């Protein structure tokens, strides 16, 4: 990030140099725009001293634009000197010393005094104007609406992860607002959304969890955009806390706990067989070490300025990628990364966040000036930082209440107990409740469980399909119930059928009388013929 800022700042400074060195008065609009862009770039790269100096140049440009300051020879000379000093500051990023810090602060104060503004502190905080607030409110509301729509789309269709890229396009107008850094926690929300988009793009299976993250982000962003229209944005809200928690769950799913917490605090043995350690990744070169170190220092500064646990948690989550890379390196780097990761996951609940801030800043300084990851001095220093971090942020020890028993032999699952309202129960002679296999869902589930218990779950096969349906087990009769009666025993046959046919004679005669129900005659005649047929078949 420092290298990227150096290239971007050099471009802005080259155009500023041409602007202030030219003949006549510079274009005030362009002067303000370039100075504001340089200040915004420095803030994004966490170069606070350069940002304060660029803010002084911006104040000088605004005074020139508003007609409060004349572009005479003295002021022109000051503008040229400020641009030249900023070039020196950018080149000194890799070897920044307190001397550069003091010189940058003095130059920023001189520019602010000349422009008639206040003497800046570090970091220099500004109050966004009405135009900036209106822009943030409009774009924030639009982005919140898109995030909410995306949340519904992912919940209904988890495969539509390609829609997440639309959020990045809608974020661009907000990310380009120079005064956005003066409205925390809006930048933290946007960075969290960007991390969520990257995570769901990398792991499409996390779409359902990402849907919850986007919904929480929409709620937090909508509230922040509304508050930005009139005053400061609250950094300690339920919406922001919910967003930070859901984003943490997306980035690090599963809620893993240290394996040591599952054992008794005794001599063991706790692990019966040692596992195979993962293959060690390639060595980290110096450029990557410097990049990780700058990121650690940047996050440490952000954690120090956080004004709420939720904001601190969101800023700490940006370290996930860096700590993963360091853990893969092995050695002292991995030990420090593991200790830092444990503390970062609890950034919102740490009793003393300054411990984590100090550890990250010290480790970042070491990595930024390291020549090699194999340096013995670097390893010893990182080991001391990791030990201090683990000691001062350790969780209270938890003692298990009972031993973890060995797995019991597999047994058939017990029959589920249905709710009384859905499946009525009757009492057998012994007094035990017997669940009825009724025709509703609960009764069907009981019947299925009886089939599985008797026949076994098994697996489907072509031979079973050809053989036909299996002989399903019958439900055991309840205590005191009579034995089943054959359907044939309930039908008319032989002499009984003929006697029943003769008994229908009176009904037929009654239907044939005047005023009788002649509509019943066809059914009565058909019934006589059927009874005669049954009598003949059984008699033969």
Residue 258 pLDDT: 59
CA dist list (Å): 371 to 90, 287, 366: 21, 9, 10
Instruction: Indicate whether 200 and 294 sit together in one domain.
Output: no
Q: Is 328 among the domain residues? A: yes
Q: What are phi and psi of 477, to 5 degrees?
A: -65, 150
Closest by Cα among 126, 167, 131 to 148: 167
Q: Which of 369, 392, 415 is the last residue of a domain?
A: 392
Instruction: Indicate whether 86 and 151 sit together in one domain.
Output: no
Instruction: Indicate whether 297 and 342 sit together in one domain.
Output: yes
Instruction: Indicate whether 28 and 140 sit together in one domain.
Output: no
Instruction: Indicate whether 195 and 104 sit together in one domain.
Output: no
Q: Which of 392, 409, 441 is the last residue of a domain?
A: 392
Q: Is 249 among the domain residues? A: yes
Instruction: Indicate whether 28 and 96 sit together in one domain.
Output: yes
Range of the domain at 141: 130-254
Instruction: Indicate whether 233 and 290 sit together in one domain.
Output: no
Instruction: Indicate whether 135 and 246 sit together in one domain.
Output: yes
Instruction: Indicate whether 9 and 109 sit together in one domain.
Output: yes
Q: Which of 115, 142, 158 is the last residue of a domain?
A: 115
Q: Is 461 among the domain residues? A: no
Instruction: Indicate whether 134 and 247 sit together in one domain.
Output: yes
Q: How many CB atoms lie within 10 A of CB 255?
A: 8
Instruction: Indicate whether 386 and 355 sit together in one domain.
Output: yes
Estimate to the nearest angstrom the gap between the alpha carbon of 21 and the chain centroid.
Answer: 51
Token pair recorded at residue 368: 């930024």
Q: At what angle do helices 130-156 and 207-227 cross, to 10 degrees?
A: 160
How do the pLDDT tens digits run along the chain, 540 residues long? 677 788 888 888 988 888 888 888 888 888 888 888 888 888 877 788 888 888 888 888 888 888 888 888 888 888 888 888 898 888 888 777 878 888 888 888 888 888 775 434 444 445 677 777 888 888 888 888 888 888 888 888 888 777 777 788 878 877 777 667 778 888 889 888 988 888 888 888 888 888 899 999 999 988 888 888 777 788 888 899 999 989 988 887 655 555 666 666 677 666 656 666 555 545 677 777 788 888 888 888 888 888 888 888 888 888 888 888 788 777 788 888 888 888 888 888 888 888 888 889 888 888 877 776 667 678 888 888 988 888 888 765 444 444 444 444 444 444 444 334 334 444 444 443 445 666 666 677 677 777 767 666 656 566 666 666 666 555 555 555 555 556 566 666 777 777 777 888 888 888 888 877 787 888 888 888 888 887 777 555
Backbone Cα Rg of the chain? 40
Instruction: Indicate whether 230 and 294 sit together in one domain.
Output: no
The tally of domains found in the chain comes to: 4
Q: Is 168 among the domain residues? A: yes
CA distance 25 to 184: 36
């Amino acid at each position: 990030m420092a290298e990227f800022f150096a290239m971007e700042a050099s471009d802005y400074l080259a155009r500023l140099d041409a602007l202030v060195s030219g003949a006549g008065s510079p274009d005030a609009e362009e002067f303000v725009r370039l100075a504001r862009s340089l200040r915004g770039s420095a803030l994004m790269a966490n170069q606070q001293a350069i940002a304060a100096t660029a803010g002084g140049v911006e104040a000088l440009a605004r005074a020139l634009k508003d007609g409060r300051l004349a572009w005479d020879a003295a002021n022109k000379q000051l503008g040229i000197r400020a641009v030249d000093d900023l070039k020196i500051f950018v080149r000194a990023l890799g070897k920044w010393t307190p001397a550069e810090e003091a010189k940058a602060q003095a130059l920023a104060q001189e520019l602010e005094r000349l422009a008639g503004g206040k003497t800046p502190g570090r970091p220099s905080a500004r109050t966004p104007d009405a135009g900036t607030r209106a822009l943030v409110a409009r774009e924030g509301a639009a982005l919140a609406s898109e995030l909410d729509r995306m949340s519904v789309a992912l919940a209904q269709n988890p495969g539509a992860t390609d829609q997440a890229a639309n959020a990045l396009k809608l974020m661009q107008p907000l990310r380009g607002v120079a005064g956005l850094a003066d409205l925390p926690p809006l930048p933290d929300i946007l960075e969290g959304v960007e991390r969520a988009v990257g995570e769901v793009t990398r792991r499409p299976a996390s779409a359902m969890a990402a849907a919850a993250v986007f919904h929480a982000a929409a709620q937090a962003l909508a509230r922040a955009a509304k508050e930005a229209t009139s005053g400061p944005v609250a950094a300690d809200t339920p919406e922001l806390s919910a967003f930070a928690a859901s984003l943490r769950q997306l980035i690090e799913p599963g809620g893993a706990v240290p394996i040591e917490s599952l054992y008794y605090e005794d001599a063991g043995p706790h692990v019966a067989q040692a596992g195979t350690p993962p293959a060690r990744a390639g060595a980290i070169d110096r450029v990557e070490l410097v990049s990780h170190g700058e990121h650690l220092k940047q996050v440490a500064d952000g954690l120090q300025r956080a004004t709420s646990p939720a904001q601190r948690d969101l800023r700490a989550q940006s370290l996930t990628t860096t700590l993963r890379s360091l853990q893969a390196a092995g050695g002292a780097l991995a030990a420090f990364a593991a200790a830092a990761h444990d503390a970062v996951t609890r950034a919102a609940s740490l009793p003393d966040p300054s411990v984590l801030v100090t550890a990250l800043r010290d480790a970042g300084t070491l990595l930024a000036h390291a020549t090699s990851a194999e340096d013995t001095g670097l390893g010893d220093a990182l080991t001391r930082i990791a030990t201090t971090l683990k000691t001062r942020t350790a969780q209270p020890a938890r003692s298990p209440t009972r031993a973890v028993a060995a797995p019991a032999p597999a047994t058939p699952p017990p029959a589920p107990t249905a709710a009384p309202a859905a499946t009525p129960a009757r009492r057998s002679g012994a007094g035990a409740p017997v669940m009825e296999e009724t025709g509703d869902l609960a009764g069907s589930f009981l019947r299925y469980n009886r089939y599985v218990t008797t026949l076994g779950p098994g697996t489907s096969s072509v031979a079973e399909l050809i053989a036909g349906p299996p002989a399903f087990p019958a439900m055991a009769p309840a205590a005191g119930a009579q034995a089943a009666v054959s359907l044939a025993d309930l039908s008319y046959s032989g002499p009984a059928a003929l006697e029943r046919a003769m008994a229908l004679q009176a009904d037929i005669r009654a239907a044939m009388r005047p005023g009788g129900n002649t509509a019943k005659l066809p059914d009565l005649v058909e019934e006589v013929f059927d009874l005669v047929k049954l009598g003949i078949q059984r008699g033969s």
